[in-house]
């Protein structure tokens, strides 16, 4: 049994809101089409793979994917049509006459495992039918008309269709050659031609990347672009009663200030260390050390703003920050909301603030100073 895979990658990606074809959008460090191609090219008994692409990016797709192809596999890049159906028809034309089974797969289902490709191809060879990978429907389904529920549909008779969809090569070619209507997928077209379609189990990882929310889901499930960091800072209360206390860039009235080269803002400094740690950019000492005269007495806002800029230069965005102040004083609850708001606006990310004591132990228990522990989650920005 020889297998050809058609990878449909000619979509423009309007719903994704991208400035380039959807298949070229980066997710988890690689383009969508590279993820899909990597799974497809490992299909058992694969002899040919054809990718449909926008005309303007033909060479770009070829340069990107050809290095991933084994020498034993024939590789073609063809221009997509004005519809998915026309794109597939264009891809059928160069299929080798020796190919017995054709799998049609949407590149947007970038993380479908190779095991599903193999299951579909094996079922086509076993039955001679069209084969559709499906998932069970778990939600309650209603039939609605004009905003009113007409009936509850038996979900046990329903399934969610995925790709790759597999077919005997000759029959699929004839079905596309004679098709006079547009169909939403290849299985529907094959059935209209008179073919029988059976099912195999699909896979939850084969969801379609169509919207920005789908990209976020993919990054969360498969990405290594989310990084965490931790930072701590400790400062002693100043003997100068006229020095104000700053924590989280905000002045806390009624408390003595903290000693330090800058304004002693342990909260801001711990957050800076957490962010720099996550991005592997050193720490506050190596970037804003005491040898830097320009930072003498500086407010924590200066360090946070500069750190945010450093992360953005390296391609990171801040997802969230959490910090905990440790010590008997100051009392955090009256200032929590104001400080969280100021820091969240400054970092353009949610910041949460908590507090605890050491149950009377150590210099913190003796109210000699303040310590802060902070954690940060950052994400490598998509290109």
3-state secondary structure labels for all residues of 335-383: CHHHHHHHHHHHHCCCEEEEEECCCCCHHHHCCCEEEEEEEEEEEECCC
Low-confidence ranges of the chain (pLDDT < 70): 224, 289-291, 293, 297, 381-383
Which residues have CB under 8 Å from 125's CB, separation 6+? 1, 100, 101
CB 163 within 8 A of CB 133: yes
- At residue 306, the pLDDT reads 94
Q: How far is CA 165 from CA 27, 78, 83, 101, 104, in A?
A: 24, 19, 17, 10, 5
In whole angstroms, what is the distance from residue 199 CA to residue 106 CA? 17
- Residues for the chain: how many in total? 383
C-alpha angle 136-142-147 in degrees, rounded to nearest 5:
145
327: helix, strand or coil: coil
- At residue 244, the pLDDT reads 94
Domain with CATH 3.30.1330.50 in the chain: 226-380
Which residues have CB under 8 Å from 293's CB, separation 6+? none
Copy the structure tokens of residue 124. Answer: 């086509």
In whole angstroms, what is the distance from residue 322 CA to residue 287 CA? 22
3-219: CATH architecture: Alpha-Beta Complex (3.90)
The secondary structure of residue 238, as a DSSP letter, is P
In whole angstroms, what is the distance from residue 24 CA to residue 39 CA? 16
CB 195 within 8 A of CB 118: no
Backbone angles phi, psi at 238, to 5 degrees: -75, 150
- At residue 1, the pLDDT reads 77
Domain with CATH 3.90.550.10 in the chain: 3-219
- At residue 202, the pLDDT reads 96
Copy the structure tokens of residue 288. Answer: 């804003």
Which CATH number among 3.80.30.20, 3.30.1330.50, 3.10.20.600, 3.40.50.1100 corresponds to the domain 226-380?
3.30.1330.50
Alpha helices in 58-185 (DSSP H): 58-65, 84-92, 114-127, 169-178
- At residue 294, the pLDDT reads 73
What would you measure as the largest C-alpha separation in the chain, in angstroms?
89
pTM: 0.66
User: Alpha-carbon dihedral of residues 320, 326, 330, 333, nearest 10 degrees?
Assistant: 50
């Amino acid at each position: 049994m020889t297998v050809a895979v058609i990878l449909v990658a000619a979509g423009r990606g309007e719903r994704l809101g991208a400035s380039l074809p959807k298949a070229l959008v980066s997710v988890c460090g690689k383009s969508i089409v590279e993820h899909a191609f990597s799974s497809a090219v490992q299909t058992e008994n694969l002899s040919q793979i054809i990718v449909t692409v926008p005309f303007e990016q033909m060479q770009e797709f070829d340069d990107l994917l050809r290095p991933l192809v084994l020498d034993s596999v024939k590789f073609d890049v063809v221009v997509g049509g004005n519809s998915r159906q026309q794109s597939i028809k264009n891809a059928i034309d160069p299929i080798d006459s020796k190919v017995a089974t054709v799998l049609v797969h949407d590149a947007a289902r970038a993380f479908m495992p190779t095991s599903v490709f193999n299951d579909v191809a094996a079922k086509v060879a076993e039955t001679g039918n069209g084969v559709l990978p499906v998932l069970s429907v778990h939600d309650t389904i209603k039939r609605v008309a004009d905003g009113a529920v007409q009936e509850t549909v038996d979900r046990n008779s329903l399934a969610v269709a995925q790709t790759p969809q597999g077919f005997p090569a000759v029959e699929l070619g004839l079905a596309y050659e004679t098709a006079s209507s547009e169909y939403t997928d290849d299985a529907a077209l094959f059935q209209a031609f008179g073919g029988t379609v059976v099912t195999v189990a699909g896979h939850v990882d084969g969801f379609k990347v169509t919207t920005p929310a789908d990209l976020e889901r993919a990054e969360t499930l498969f990405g290594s672009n989310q990084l965490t960091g931790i930072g701590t800072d400790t400062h002693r209360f100043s003997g100068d009663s006229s020095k104000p206390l700053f924590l989280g860039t905000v002045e806390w009235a009624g408390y003595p200030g903290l000693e330090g080269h800058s304004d002693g803002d342990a909260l801001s400094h711990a957050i800076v260390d957490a962010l720099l740690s996550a991005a592997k950019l050193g720490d506050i000492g190596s970037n804003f050390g005491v040898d830097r005269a320009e930072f003498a007495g500086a407010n924590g806002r200066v360090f946070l703003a500069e750190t945010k800029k450093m992360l953005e230069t390296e391609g990171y965005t801040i997802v969230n920050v959490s910090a905990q102040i440790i010590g008997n004083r100051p009392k955090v609850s009256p200032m929590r909301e104001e400080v969280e708001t100021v820091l969240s606006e400054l970092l353009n990310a949610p910041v949460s603030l908590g507090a605890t004591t050491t149950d009377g132990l150590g210099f913190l228990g003796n109210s000699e100073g303040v310590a802060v522990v902070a954690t940060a989650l950052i994400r490598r920005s998509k290109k």
